[in-house]
Amino acid sequence: MTETNSAMQSVAAPVLLPQPSSLHLMDGIVALPIAGIISQCSESCFLAEQLADSLSDATGLRWNITRGEHRDVDVLLTINPELEAHGYTLTVSHDVVPIVVEGRDAAALRDGVQTLRQLIAQYGIAMPCLEISDRPAYAVRSYSLDVTRGRVPTMAWLKTWIDKLCLYKYNQLQLYIEHTGKVRGLSESWRGTSPLTSRDLVELDEYCRERGIELVPSISTFGHHYMTLRTRSFRDLGEFPEQSNRAYSFIERQEHHTMNINHPGSLKLSQRLIDAYIGAVSSKFFNIGGDETFDLGKGRSRDHNGGRDVPHMYASYVERLCQYVESRGHQAMLWGDIAVEMPEILDLLPKNIVILNWLYAPDITGDKVALVAKSGARQYVCAAVHSWNSVLPHIDDGWNNISRLARYGMEYRAEGFMVTDWGDYGHINDSRMSIPAMIYGAQEAWNPGSCDLETLDGRIARLEYGDATGSCVVDMKAACQGESFSWENIVHYLELDDGTGSVNTDVYQQIRESGVALHVDPTKGLTAVRRDYLRTLAAAIETAGENDTRLTQAKNSLVRHLSTHTCGEAHELQPWLIAIQGQRLFNRCGKMLLHPGAQAERYAVAEALEIWFEQYAEAWRTISRESELRRIATDIWRVADLLRAGAETKSDDTQTDAAPQTEIHGAELPSVARTEAQA
């Protein structure tokens, strides 16, 4: 090791995420050797290997690794049980051992190593002298990833994401699964989804454990069984088995999916699902789901309910599931929405269950956090990255939700903080675009309120994306403001068709409940209702021109800031460029559906949409299995066909909307009603 004159040296303050509780930057720089020695005082050398990889990236040479309290080393990783709970210290100095990371335990040592890795990424082997003393606000910092609503990630990408979660000090990952696990006897549910296998989960569990992350199964065992309850084998278990032959619907997939808990086969199915996943992971926790059981007590379960009301029916079934999970040696978790909407349930649930209290409104208050706390129940507070139903995420909504909920969770002593990443409506959102909000969650779970948004955006730009200007996250957020006609609007517009050319009244009602003021009665026909829908959105649709400018400027700025870097940023730039182009086309589609224009223009936009989808599909396949990409393809093609046909523009509101028959690669494109009657 060589030392530099401390009086002659000064460096910029490091950019660290999450921001440490205490950082003291001192004068001087320590120049590490180009190939030094790391000593780790534990049986596992994984953390030392992580550091060696980071140092190798900086120097091109491989560092050596040893164990024990050696003095003749350059980096020492050690346990100090005298530190405060979950805490670590990191010192860079001119002492005999120039870099020392101490953790209260192995988990805390892992967090300290991630801080050191971030320093290496910025300074290489010329490290500034500093002292860091740090600990998290939340002991559990969880990320929940949807791997079921259309997109199943590749194993390679899941491991990349786990590495990123580790770097930003998350220590729990939940994979949300409805039907995309390869469970024996349920092939009707998972066929065509590229399902995860038990071997995949075992492999991921080991990968997570090495990196200090607990992998928790998050399995729908009660509600959200839309795909399973459409099958011939299990439709009788549903509240509304008569609806199992309806055309596939992204919207109804979110609503009609609750098991009839009074059917003797329902508990057997729930137990089969628990058995399929509980042995594949080492976590003591098991998330049994239980959210959004909208149909409970409205269909078949009204019969033979023993006089119980919905809260008691719900709590009774959850208790049976918890007892089964506990009999398998695990601790149950439960999504908390039903319990906080019917607070009497909180007093009926098992006392040791962990309530995952998801509250996603950007302007969320602390009332429901306080409600669960007052009941004495254990809880995690659960925020969201706000990316569902949209090709571009809503990053500002993510920040407002995450930052508020982190404060409320601390106020009411929540055990953990979770960030959720959902893929409603086919999971068109590329998970790589969740990175800014994921880091928001990492920061607020670790040190809530300590970093203002402008500063945080600049740090994310520099540390995660290598953008020296610190501007790229602002560019991303500008693009996210460019929606005139969204993917959600496209799905609403298409699914107003029940598959036969008549109005889907359930979709009609859902659109109204989402805040769109439809006025035309569904009996007036599909054309009239679709036209009414477009008219209600006209003010937003008419902003397509100005949003096109906003999206183009954001794209150009992102390219300037990121395209010349060599640290993998191009990989992160790709989904943004594709999503921005997609949103520009969606905006134009909305305007053309409202004001059709000339045939040549409509045909040109239809072709551009189809070309764009091929680029989108290529990007999808870089991080995801084929999964249910075909469902997004079907809707994109339907929009293109409608643009070419101009069917919605005729003045006669009584016309019948026939699904256009289009030649695709020499074959007729079948109607959705025929191809999707059985999922």
DSSP state of 470: S
Predicted local distance difference test score (pLDDT) of residue 71: 78
Return the exposure string of 355-387: e unless at least 16 CB atoms fall within 10 Å of the residue's CB, then b. Answer: bbbbbbebebebebbebbbebebbbbbbbbbbb
Predicted local distance difference test score (pLDDT) of residue 68: 83
- What whole-number distance in Å separates Cα of residue 275 and Cα of residue 375? 31
Q: What angle do CA 572, 165, 23 make, to 5 degrees?
A: 105
Distance set, CA 101 to CA 47, 88, 97, 427, 603 (Å): 11, 7, 11, 41, 62
Q: Sheet containing 22-31: which strands, arranged edge to edge?
A: 2-3, 22-31, 126-134, 88-92, 99-103, 75-79, 37-40, 64-67
Predicted local distance difference test score (pLDDT) of residue 10: 56
DSSP state of 666: T
Q: What angle do CA 194, 360, 252 make, to 5 degrees?
A: 50
Predicted local distance difference test score (pLDDT) of residue 570: 57
Predicted local distance difference test score (pLDDT) of residue 671: 32
> How many other C-beta atoms lie within 10 A of the C-beta of residue 102?
22
Predicted local distance difference test score (pLDDT) of residue 44: 75
- Nearest residue to 496 via CA among 538, 456, 526: 526
DSSP state of 345: G
Distance set, CA 608 to CA 437, 580, 585, 595, 649 (Å): 30, 14, 8, 18, 21
SS3 call for 304: coil
Q: Are 180 and 190 in contact (CB under 8 A)?
A: yes
Query: pLDDT under 70 in the chain at which residues?
Result: 1-10, 43, 563-571, 647-679
Predicted local distance difference test score (pLDDT) of residue 569: 52
Q: Are 555 and 482 in contact (CB under 8 A)?
A: no
pTM of the predicted structure, to 2 decimals: 0.93
Return the H-helix or E-strand segment holding 208: helix 198-210
pLDDT above 70 coverage of the chain, percent: 92
